[in-house]
Amino acid sequence: MRAYNKIYDQKALEQDAEVNQGRPYQQCSLSVMDTIADPNITFDDKGICNYYYEYKTAEKDSYRGEEGKGIQRSFAERIKKAPGKHGYDCILGLSGGLDSTYLAVLAKELKLNPLLVHFDYGWNSEIAIKNVENAVEASGFDLHTIVMDWQEFKNLQRSYFKASVIDLDVPADHMIFGALYKVSKEFNIKYLLSGNNVWTEHTMPKTWNYNKVDLVNIQNIHKKFENTPLTKLPKFGIFQVAKYSALHKIERINFLDYEFIDRKEIEKIIEKEMGWINYGGKHQESVFTRFYQGYILPSKFNIDKRKAHYSNMIFSGQMTKEEAQDEISKPAYAEALMKQDFEYVAKKLGFTISEFEVILTQYNVPHEFYGTDAKIKQNYFKLMKIIKPVTKIIKKVMGK
């Protein structure tokens, strides 16, 4: 395992950024976003980066105070009028993390009857499992757990490591989306509540992750490196997205965009209301994501996602730049646990330690190298341009 102090040698990273990008190292004057591993960052004459202005634009479309609460209540009333099977009126994906747990609090306050859906793909931390159990008990809502076929999912994850691409969270995120929409269809539930929000997670460089619904890219990577059956994992490509949204009329609502998400206050609320236990950094309720974001991204790709997370908190007034700089000068989590995770992840995925070390030092390869769904999307949107006008004419003729 590569020594952690080498991963966070700030001076070396700054020099590397200058060499690879052909421009001097620069950090945003307001946040901790910088030129390291981010070729697309730009700065104005005040040294303020583009991410600040992108955040402010997104913030204008979100709501604080009573106006936002009113929108939430309106959504709740609409949701209640369309119950699905067994009286469930919405789907709430529960990971054991902060955002989804707070969604459960809101759902209870608004007297919704969600079906809580937990996605078990083999990497849940013990704290995450306990948080799910506590939330179910405290809320009184029913829980539906989806357990992924481990052998298939393991093989898919192995393919991604061998492909040496940046977004190793694509397999899990893709399957989570697919599973949530699949359950929505099975229970005839039209609304899916999402914990995504502007206040804590809008900021993210495009080059730091990849399209989660590019099924062509996923299938090509898997075929090239493992080529084993993937018959039991839920698909969520462009056609599945269209089917669930257009045909089955399933609507995804970013419920947390309609009130200001003060992370510290939310933590207090869910600790009190749901018995929530703090597991550390963002998305560290998953052992795999903890290791991926805390070790693999910085050591292999020179990316520290905390810069984006903390910068978002700075933009929303929840953190100072000095506080963020102090945090990112430290390891993402305890080095002893990181070493333990290294060995655990390697063993769980069926790699020897030496194989894993070699894999994590391969040259980085763009996702696009393995093919994308760009052509399929292009053809799909062309087809939609033809179908929509025809559909309108048919409805008019039939008096609908």
What pLDDT is stored for residue 399 in this prediction?
A: 47
Chain segment 183-192, per-residue pLDDT in tens: 999 999 999 9
- Taking the CA atoms of residue 71, residue 74, residue 80 and residue 81 in that order, the dihedral angle to the nearest 10 degrees is -140
Q: Is residue 70 within 8 Å of residue 93, measured between CB atoms? A: no
Distance between CA atoms of residues 333 and 283, nearest Å: 12
Helix (H, G, I), strand (E, B) or coil at 210: coil
pLDDT mean over 262-277: 96
**DSSP for 7-38?**
HT-HHHHHHHHHHHHSS---B-SSSS-BSTT-
Residue (of 156, 181, 180) closest to 168 by Cα position: 156
State pTM to two decimals.
0.90
pLDDT at 30: 98
pLDDT in tens, 180-234: 999 999 999 999 999 999 999 999 999 999 999 999 999 999 999 999 999 999 9
Mean pLDDT of 360-376: 96
| Model pLDDT, residue 283 | 60
For the chain, report the end-to-end CA distance as a whole number of angstroms. 65
Grouping H, G, I as helix, E, B as strand and the rest as coil, residue 140 is coil
Residue 397 has what pLDDT?
Answer: 44
Residue 182 to residue 289: CA distance in whole angstroms: 24
Task: Give the per-residue pLDDT at 88.
Answer: 98
- Using alpha carbons only, what angle is made at residue 232 by residues 229 and 233, rounded to the nearest 5 degrees? 95
Identify which of 395, 301, 359, 381 has the alpha carbon closest to the alpha carbon of residue 36: 301
What pLDDT is recorded for position 236?
94
- Residue pLDDT, tens place only, 107-125: 999 999 999 999 999 999 8
Amino acid identity at 259: E
- Using CA atoms, how far apart are residues 228 and 378, in angstroms rounded to an integer? 29
Average pLDDT (336-362) is 97
SS3 116: strand
- Spatial distance between the Cα atoms of 233 and 219, rounded to a whole number of angstroms: 12
SS (H, E, C) 238-299: HHHHHHHHHHCCCEEEEHHHHCCCCHHHHHHHHHHHHCCCCCCCCCCCEHHHHHHHHHHHHH
State the average pLDDT over residues 380-386.
Answer: 73
The residue-averaged pLDDT of 363-370 equals 97
Nearest of 121, 227, 211 to residue 166 by alpha carbon = 211
Q: What is the pLDDT of residue 103?
A: 97
- Rounded to whole angstroms, the Cα distance separating 204 from 215 reads 22
Q: Compute the distance between CA of residue 37 and CA of residue 106 in angstroms, rounded to an integer.
A: 38
In this prediction, residue 398 has a pLDDT band, given cuts at 50, 70 and 90, of very low
Q: Tokens standing for 68?
A: 């936002």
Amino acid at 283: H
Fold of 63-305+331-400: Rossmann fold (3.40.50)
Phi, psi of 118 (to 5 degrees): -110, 135
Question: What residues contact residue 55 under an 8 Å CB cut-off, 6+ apart?
Answer: 198, 202, 203, 312, 315, 316
- 18 burial level (CB within 10 Å; 0-12, 13-18, 19+): middle
What pLDDT is stored for residue 70 in this prediction? 95
Average pLDDT, the chain: 91
